[in-house]
Amino acid sequence: MTEAAVNAPEAKSTNTSSAQLETMAWDSKSRRFVLLYLPLCCFLIILLFPFYWMTVTAFKPNAELYNFAEHNPFWITSPTLDHIRMLLFETAYPRWLWTTMLVSVCATVLSLFASVLAAYAIQRLRFKGSQYVGLAIYLAYLVPPSILFIPLATMVFQLGLFDTPFALILTYPTFLIPFCTWLLIGYFKSIPFELEECALIDGATRVQILWQITLPLAVPGLISAGIFSFTLSWNEFIYALAFIQSSENKTVPVAILTELVTGDVYQWGALMAGSLLGSLPVAIFYSFFVDYYVSSLTGAVKE
């Protein structure tokens, strides 16, 4: 139901006396332009500009970067790969990418495993007090990392995990499991219970039912939870900043901020190239699974 379509009959019936008003109401094209396309374009430009600026800066030679008088800053006259080459061959960037990938994948697998079982138990086994466990897990999602990182840092130190990827692999599930569990509870809810009853009658065990019936049907939910966990782990910052000290174990977001920012002169070209390369994996990943992202984002909120 569009604004214009809604207004047209109204205008016809009520404003017949005023010719000017009628033309204004009928003039739906310009009205739509001002009320819809213009604001939408502004939103798009503002939301995308930092990425454009990041990209432009990453491929600009230093001479152009700091000389607005002779070069139009919005465009590149002689693009260069210098910043990216420097990043890949003169810093430990590939190593940081690899660490981030490893940590994200391991944390995601661990969280998915724990969440699938927990969501199945809460939604399908329906033991006494299962809804309280569900509520407790929901509340766990509301505990932000900012109030946990200091005690976690002391724990990580005492466990001897400080400065190892395991510190991150084990702590990331604290915010991934609540999210995934809630998402999967919603998905399991949508799978008809009758299917499981049929399987029970046919003599399947509970484990067989979970493995052969519920899980295959919940694959879209698993994909949503998986890609979301991966993105959240990739983007995580405060734990990685607090628990990792040596340069080679850092994740990309932390390393760019702590290793590439050196001295008083910021290497903006390299910084932007690093940000761009660090964003690309998630952005590519995202472009393949847009619908899953949207459904998990909205699904998790709606549950």
Partner 1 sequence: MSATTAAPVWTKMRPKQGALSRLFDWKPFLAFVCLLPAVGLLMTFLTYPLGLGIWLAFTDTTIGREGIWVGLENFIWLMDDPIFWSAVFFSVFYTGVATIGKFALGLWLALLLNQHVPFKSMLRAIILLPWIVPTVLSAIAFWWIYDPQFSIISYLFVDVLGWRDQNIDFINTAWPARWSLIAANIWRGIPFVAITLLAGLQTIPPSLYEAALLDGASGWQRFRYITFPMLLPILAIVMTFSIIFTFTDFQLVYAITRGGPVNSTHLLATLAFQRGIQGGQLGEGAAIAVSMIPFLVFATLFSYYGLARRKWQQGEGND
Hey, which residues between 166 and 205 contact partner 1 (CB under 8 A)? 170-171, 173-174, 177-178, 181, 193, 197, 200-201, 203, 205
Give the binding-site size for partner 1 (rule: CB under 8 A): 101
Least separation, in Å, of the C-beta of 109 and partner 1?
Answer: 12
For the segment 48-67, give every residue that binds partner 1 (CB under 8 A).
48, 50-51, 53-54, 57, 65-66
Backbone torsions φ then ψ of 73, nearest 5 degrees: -65, -20
Among 15, 61, 149, 259, binds partner 1 (CB under 8 A): 149
* Residue in 57, 109, 46 with CA at minimum distance from that of residue 80: 57
Please report, as residue ranges, which positions from 4 to 43 form the binding site for partner 1 (by CB under 8 A).
6, 10, 36, 39-40, 43
**Closest separation between CB of residue 219 and partner 1, Å?**
19
Distances (CA, A) of 281 to 24, 98, 172: 48, 12, 19
Q: Which is nearer to partner 1, 26 or 293 (CB)?
A: 293
Q: How many C-beta neighbours within 10 Å does residue 47 have?
A: 9
Q: In Å, how far from its chain's centre is CA 274?
A: 19
How far is residue 167's CA from residue 107's CA, in Å, rounded to a whole number?
A: 10
Shortest CA distance to 178 belongs to which of 237, 241, 119? 119
Smallest gap from residue 145 Cβ to partner 1 (A)? 8
Task: Give the x/- contact pattern for partner 1 in 236-275, rule: CB under 8 A.
Answer: -xx--xx---------xxx-xx----------x--xx-xx
Site for partner 1 in 78-117 (CB under 8 A): 110, 113-115, 117
**C-alpha span between 145 and 235 (Å, rounded):** 13
- The one-letter amino acid code at 298 reads T
CA distance 299 to 14: 42
The residue range among 80-88, 91-99, 146-154, 211-219 that interacts with partner 1, by the rule CB under 8 A, is: 146-154
CB of 44 to partner 1, least distance (A): 7
What angle separates helix 252-259 from helix 268-288, to the nearest 10 degrees? 170
Could you tell me the smallest distance in angstroms from the CB atom of residue 207 to partner 1? 5
Pull the structure tokens for residue 135: 């509520």
Q: Check binding of 217 to partner 1 (CB under 8 A).
A: no
Nearer to partner 1, 91 or 130 (CB): 130
